[in-house]
Amino acid sequence: MNELRLVLQHKNKGMGLEKEINLSCEYYLNKKIANIHKKPTPVHVVEVSNQKSPIITKAFYQKSSTTDYNGLYRMKYIDFEAKETRSKSFPLSNIHQHQLDHLVNIDELGGLAFIIVRFLSSEETFLIRICDIINYVNTEKKKTIPIEYFKQYGTIIAPNFNPRLDFLKAVDKAFLEELK
């Protein structure tokens, strides 16, 4: 039972930001502002019992081939990953390489691709475009990005009441040219 709790605790890591984004997506959906959803975690099902109402009895979590969130906003395709960190810099290793590649591809195809990062130490949340992430990696040859870089190149998402995390306001600002 303790093991289960530990596994669940581990899985819930980052639940704060995720829950706020989910609530905000619900708000945007109800107000017909945007249609953005979290993708389900892919599960590889091995065993299923009971044909009439199937119960999965053996399955494994799979790596997602894309990011957690995508959808439609201001007639544009939007795609992002959301992460929390306890550190004062953001280790890119928190995001799988294939997820970064996916975001770069979205950017190239004309979608709005970004990452939302929350620094738990200062409770500051930033939106940063994937092109700015890639610029940092290529210029600095480092894969850990300090909060100062987010302050300079990212867009802060100010705390809000409803929606809980008004990240689309930050999208408006970060993608001003694309949304003209």
**Site residues (vs a copy of itself, CB under 8 A):** 3-4, 6-8, 29, 32, 34-35, 37, 39-43, 45, 47-51, 53-62, 64-66, 70-79, 102, 105-106, 108-111
45 vs 156, which CB is nearer to a copy of itself? 45
Nearer to a copy of itself, 29 or 120 (CB): 29
| Alpha helices in 31-162, H assignment, sequence order | 97-108, 130-140, 147-153
DSSP 33: S
Count the neighbouring beta carbons within 10 Å of the beta carbon of residue 17.
17
Tell the smallest beta-carbon distance from residue 7 to a copy of itself (Å): 5
Name which of 4 and 176 has its Cβ closer to a copy of itself.
Answer: 4
Q: Least Å distance between CB 62 and a copy of itself?
A: 8
> CB 122 → a copy of itself: shortest distance, Å?
31
CB of 43 to a copy of itself, least distance (A): 5
What long-range pairs does 18-21 form, CB within 8 A, spacing at least 24? 18/68, 18/82, 20/164, 20/165, 21/69, 21/82, 21/116, 21/165, 21/167
Assign 3-state DSSP to the chain and report helix, strand, coil percentages, each to 5: 40, 30, 30
Choice between 51 and 152, CB closer to a copy of itself: 51
Q: Could you tell me whether strands 89-91 and 144-146 are parallel, antiparallel, or unpaired per DSSP bridges?
A: antiparallel
Quote the least distance from Cβ 124 to a copy of itself, whole Å.
Answer: 30
Nearer to a copy of itself, 112 or 145 (CB): 112
